[in-house]
Structure 1
Amino acid sequence: MTATATAPAVVAESSSRVRPNEIWRIVRLHTVNPSIFFLVPAMILGGAWAVTMVIALILVGAGVPMENTGFQYSWAVLSPQWYLIVVGVQAVSYTFPFALGFGATRRDYWVGTGIMFVLASLLFAVVIATLLLIERATGGWGIGAGMFDALWYVGADWFTAFYTTFALQLLVLFIGAGVTTVFMRWRMKGMMIVLFGGVVVILAIIAMLTFTESWESLGQWLSSIGIIGVFTLVLAKALAWAVAGFLVIRRATPR
């Protein structure tokens, strides 16, 4: 009788502890197939660079002045970001059932997954910020082409490029993972509610800004906080998705 009464308390106590070994085990679990986090995004980035260089060579061969080509408005530098949403989805859907099978708690799993997201985001932020400096130092890879020195990266230093890339990558990873937790817990019904709820919120914000004529004020405020401030908001959104994902996955059922 005593053993029966005290067993649940022991389980509850152990499940409430932070277990570094189990958390690191989850991180290593995500690296079993390194192509998901590293190889495929690198191939996408490399492919976008190759296409950009080919376009630049065509323009140079045609005698078009490179300063008039608009490379600084190219979105090629963001090409891996769209795939990273898929990475967030795959990271959870492929590993969550297996992790629970070998005894990981949902808390261990989510913390380990978050650490993996941070490590992957740090790596690609370092790579892109460094490639930006190389591109500038070589005068656009020797032909005046700009892929990394585009959009908000124009004129940015290494730290700004690193920080903004890190914040954006972390956001898209946690969006993918968070959406997957919703599907695991509430299936398609939950997905539809989140989708339509998000659309309603966005339309409500647009309507509010329009009817109150606040677009200009919003633009001025964003300009006042600068690029670092804007991407600090992006990082805050990533953390919000991380917290929301944890709250959902606590009761999620693996497929």
Structure 2
Amino acid sequence: MNRALTVARLQFVGWRSVVGWPWGILALSFSINLALFSAMNENDDFEPTTGGLMSIYVVMFVASINAITQEFPFALGLGVSRRSFYLGNVIHFAGQAISYAAVLYLLAVIEEATDGWGVNLRFFGVPFPLVEHPVLRFLAFAIPFLLLGFIGIAIALVFKRWGVNGLLMLSTVALAAIGGLVVLATWRGWWSAIGGWFADQPGWALLVGWPALLTLLLAGLSYLTIRRATP
């Protein structure tokens, strides 16, 4: 466990990229959206909702890939086991997810209290209309960080384990699977049923429940893969 904690602390050596880039890009996205909708000067009934919040999640997704591709060989060179490296990254991403979600939740509360920063803008509080319980709202911010983090880890481990051919094969299989499902759903006329299923799901299931299950699945697969990954 001590080695795992050391790996987790190692992630913060380059704190500018770990903290600065995600929040810097999010601040830029927020500023652009706020300026845009302030300039539009719409009526009070207009409540714009943007996807700018996704910017911080995308940056964290990229950071999770970098953590494996760049730091994995370095850590193994220092004598860190694959298990310790993996657990260290899990601790790191869990800590980031909790702390970042807390800040986003606070910003969403401020946004709600100020009537969308004075222009009815819904930027941080996107999950609020779907979930009402404070804990679920917090998890709605935190779980996507973990999900995208493990997706990034899984992609990076495929590259470390099987190289470029592995990535190309993964992309091909994913494209074929998604394309096949789209064709099948169109052929069988399932789109209305699929839409109804999503509509019937409670907000917490869509934002917390299903993403959490997928995160656990990816975490297990990533652990099995890293045991055979090469630097």
How high is the TM-score relative to the length of structure 1?
A: 0.83
Provide the alpha-carbon RMSD of the alignment: 1.8
Determine which of 43, 46, 51 is the counterpart of 1:65.
43
CA contact (8 A) 1:88 1:177 kept: yes
Equivalent residue letter for 1:67: D
Which stretches in structure 1 are left out of the alignment for 5+ residues? 1-19
- Secondary structure of 1:32's counterpart equals coil
Question: Do residues 76 (structure 1) and 57 (structure 2) align?
Answer: no
CA contact (8 A) 1:59 1:66 kept: no
Aligned to 2:187: 211
Equivalent residue letter for 2:45: E
For residues 10-159 of structure 1, the aligned pairs below 5 Å read 20-60=1-41, 64-68=42-46, 71-72=48-49, 74-150=50-126, 152-154=127-129, 156-157=131-132, 158-159=134-135
Aligned to 1:198: 174
**Alignment length, in residue pairs?**
229
Deviation by residue 1:210-241 (Cα, 9 ceiling, x = unmatched): 33333233333333331211231112112222
Shift of 1:199: 0.8
Question: Do residues 240 (structure 1) and 217 (structure 2) align?
Answer: yes
Runs of 4+ in 1 over 4 A off after TM superposition: none
CA contact (8 A) 1:81 1:172 kept: yes
CA distance in 2 between counterparts of 1:41 and 1:66 reads: 32
CA distance in 2 between counterparts of 1:178 and 1:36 reads: 21
Equivalent residue letter for 2:175: V
CA distance in 2 between counterparts of 1:27 and 1:120 reads: 11
Larger Rg belongs to: 1
Shift in alpha-carbon separation, 1:66–1:148, aligned structure 2, 3 A: farther
CA distance in 1 between counterparts of 2:152 and 2:161 reads: 15
CA distance in 2 between counterparts of 1:139 and 1:132 reads: 11
CA distance in 2 between counterparts of 1:80 and 1:240 reads: 23
CA distance in 1 between counterparts of 2:108 and 2:68 reads: 31
Shift of 1:155: 5.7
Question: Do residues 179 (structure 1) and 173 (structure 2) align?
Answer: no
Equivalent residue letter for 1:181: L
Which stretches in structure 2 are left out of the alignment for 5+ residues? none
The structure whose residues are more often helix, as a share, is 1
Greater shift, 203-212 or 49-58, is seen at 203-212
Deviation by residue 1:42-69 (Cα, 9 ceiling, x = unmatched): 1111111111221122123xxx31433x
Deviation by residue 1:158-204 (Cα, 9 ceiling, x = unmatched): 33332122121111111111111111111110000001111111122
CA contact (8 A) 2:130 2:204 kept: no
CA distance in 2 between counterparts of 1:239 and 1:172 reads: 12
- Secondary structure of 2:202's counterpart equals helix
